Amino acid sequence: MLGRSRWLCIAALVSIAWCAADPETVWREYVDWYRRQPVSVTDARGRYLEHLRASGKDPQEIEERGRIIERLSRERRDELQLLFFDRTYASQTPRFNAAPNALLVEAVRERPPGKALDVHMGQGRNAVYLASLGWDVTGFDYSEEGVRAARLAAQKAGVKLNAVVARHEEFDFGTRRWDLVVLSYTWLPLRSPYVAKILASLKPGGLLVFEHMMDESGSETAAPWLPRPNQLLELFGSLRILRYEDVRAQADWSWRPERIARLVAEKPRLP
C-alpha cells in the first residue's frame, strides 16, 4: 500500500510532467479536433474541454490545457478565423446565403461583361454567377476549401474562373485592370492601403459593388472591415455614387436582420 504522502508526491510529479507539456502539441490537438467538428459547433474551446472530460482525462490536465488554449486562441486569432472559413466551406450545410448577392445581380443587369475581380470570393457564389453571364472573373480568398468549392462550382456550371488562393495582404490588385470589383461581405480592412488599391485597380468607367453589415458600436476595437455609418461615402467619394443604402435587412452572412451598407459606384471616365 502506498502512503498518503507518496500519493501526493506521485500526483505532484504527474502535474509537473503535465505542466511541462508542449503548448504546440496542446494547440495542434485542439485544432485537429475542431477541424473535424460539424460547422454548428461554435463554442469550440468549451466543447473541447467537455470532450476531454468525457474521455476521462485528468481534471488538472484539462484545466491546464484550457489555459493554454485560451492564451493561444487570443494570439492566433487569424488561424482560428481561417479555420472557421475552411470548415464553413467544407460543410454540406452552408450557414450563409449560397445564392449570388442580390445587390450584385441588380448592379450588373445592364452592364456588358468585362473583367471582374471578386475580392474574398469565398465558395464562389458571386464569381460563378458573373462568369455565367460572360464576365472574365478572377476571385481570390485565403480559404483553400473556399477556392476548391469555387473551382468545383465553376466546373459544374461549365464556366471559366480564375480562382486564386491568396491573402489580401499579398494579392496584386493591379492598376486600371477591372471593369468590376466585388466586395461582398469581405473582411478587407476599410483603410489604407486597401481602399487606395481598390480605387487604383478599377478601370475608368469600372464599377464597385459593396455590401456588408455595419459597425454601429463606433468602438476602436470593432472589426476594421465593417463600415461605420456614411463611411463608404467618404472612402469612395472620388467615385460616382450610383446607389447608397443604410438599411436594416436580412444579410447574406447572418441569421437575423442586420444593419447593412450597400454601395454601387462607378469610377469616372477620363476627360
Ligand X SMILES: C[S@@+](CC[C@H](N)C(=O)[O-])C[C@H]1O[C@@H](n2cnc3c(N)ncnc32)[C@H](O)[C@@H]1O
Burial 222-257 (b: 16+ CB within 10 A, else e): eeebbbeeeebbebbeebeeeeeeeeeeebbeeeee
Q: Does 187 bind ligand X (CB under 6 A)?
A: yes
Q: According to CB under 6 A, which residues from 203 to 232 bind ligand X?
A: none
Q: Does 185 bind ligand X (CB under 6 A)?
A: yes
H-helix segments, the chain = 4-19, 23-35, 44-54, 59-75, 77-90, 102-107, 125-132, 144-157, 194-201, 231-235
Nearer of residues 4 and 256 to ligand X, judged by Cβ? 256
Residue from 30, 34, 85, 194 touching ligand X (CB under 6 A): that is 85
Q: Which residues contact 262 (CB under 8 A, 6 or more apart)?
A: 103, 210, 211, 243, 244, 245, 247
Nearer of residues 18 and 253 to ligand X, judged by Cβ? 253
* Choices 2-10, 128-136, 139-147, 236-244; region in contact with ligand X by CB under 6 A: 139-147
Nearest distance from C-beta of residue 89 to ligand X, angstroms: 7
Radius of gyration of the chain (CA): 23
Q: Does 27 bind ligand X (CB under 6 A)?
A: no
> Closest CB to ligand X belongs to which residue?
122
Q: Does 143 bind ligand X (CB under 6 A)?
A: yes
Q: Does 122 bind ligand X (CB under 6 A)?
A: yes
Residue from 68, 184, 203, 260 touching ligand X (CB under 6 A): that is 184
Nearer of residues 136 and 144 to ligand X, judged by Cβ? 144
Q: State the maximum Cα–Cα separation within the chain, in Å, rounded to a whole number.
A: 95
Q: Does 168 bind ligand X (CB under 6 A)?
A: yes
Nearer of residues 166 and 247 to ligand X, judged by Cβ? 166
Nearest distance from C-beta of residue 236 to ligand X, angstroms: 18
Q: Does 243 bind ligand X (CB under 6 A)?
A: no
- Give which of 195, 171, 181 is closest to 130, Cα–Cα: 181
| Alpha carbons 187 and 199: distance in angstroms, whole number | 17
Q: Does 65 bind ligand X (CB under 6 A)?
A: no
Q: Does 197 bind ligand X (CB under 6 A)?
A: no
Give the amino acid at 268: P
For residue 220, what is the DSSP state? T
Residue from 141, 159, 173, 239 touching ligand X (CB under 6 A): that is 141
- List strands edge to edge, sheet with 240-250: 162-165, 136-141, 115-119, 178-184, 202-213, 257-266, 240-250
| Alpha carbons 69 and 47: distance in angstroms, whole number | 12
Residue from 31, 49, 121, 202 touching ligand X (CB under 6 A): that is 121
Q: Please, what is the Cα angle at 111 between 110 and 117, to 5 degrees?
A: 140
| Alpha carbons 174 and 265: distance in angstroms, whole number | 19
By CB under 6 A, the count of residues binding ligand X is 19
Residue from 30, 142, 194, 236 touching ligand X (CB under 6 A): that is 142
Applying CB under 6 A, the residues found at the interface with ligand X are 85, 101, 120-122, 125-126, 141-143, 146, 167-168, 184-187, 252-253
